[in-house]
Amino acid sequence: MDRFEGLTTAHVADACIRARVPVRTVSLTSVTGERVAGRVLPAQHVGSVDVFLEAFESAQAGDVLVVGNGGRRDEACVGDLVALEAQAAGLAGLVVWGLHRDTVDITAIGLPVFSLGALPTGPLRLDPQPADALSRATIGEWTVTRDDVVLGDEDGVVFVPADRLDEIFDLAESIRATEHAQADSIRSGRSLREQVRFAEYLTARAARPDLTFRQHLRAIRGAIEE
């Protein structure tokens, strides 16, 4: 979390592209306005909170409970008691591919909770729990495990392989430094087009129609798209 503090998920997503790591992002909103970072603690919701309580039994401090609930919008699958229990277990936050409820109480608890939105109704079903309910969770089109780290901010959530995290942070910090320098130059009167030698790119593209702007940026060590 300390290293992520100076970055954004956009920086991390761009770094994944640079590192040729699949860009696993989803659009989720933080209930509390807080950022989150930690190792994935997966759980598949099937209608009862017991799967979360079981997950907490093996949780380590700083983990983030990542709940797969199929993106359902007909039920809330986590509420204030789950958030409070997660906080007591030392978790850094919750990421829910589904809905939450008890927004006022969750806000008061202060633990970062990311979800697709809120709904007053809890689950009205109880399905069989799959054998891998505590080893993997599906979030959007992505399946994540304990081998992943989740990072979330105002732009959404990104998942990164834990064994590539340092490399991706290094790249993200380099991208951030370049972008900040570009922003400072714009404020000082040097346009972005001038900085990225856009006229040069247009001339080169006229001669080579297959030349992409991304290739041009890489050639001049720019950083806009990634």
Would the annotation count 127 as a binding residue? Answer: no
Would the annotation count 81 as a binding residue? Answer: yes
Bridge partners for 193 per DSSP: none
CA distance 82 to 106: 9
Helices 9-19, 165-187: crossing angle, 10 deg rounding = 120
CA distance 198 to 217: 10
**What is the CB neighbour count within 10 angstroms for residue 182?**
17
* Cβ proximity of 45 and 69 under 8 Å: yes
Would the annotation count 79 as a binding residue? Answer: yes
For the record, the structure tokens of 22 come out as 């699949």
Would the annotation count 101 as a binding residue? Answer: yes
Would the annotation count 38 as a binding residue? Answer: no
Would the annotation count 80 as a binding residue? Answer: yes
Question: What residues are designated binding site for Mg(2+)?
Answer: 102
Question: What residues are designated binding site for substrate?
Answer: 79-82, 101
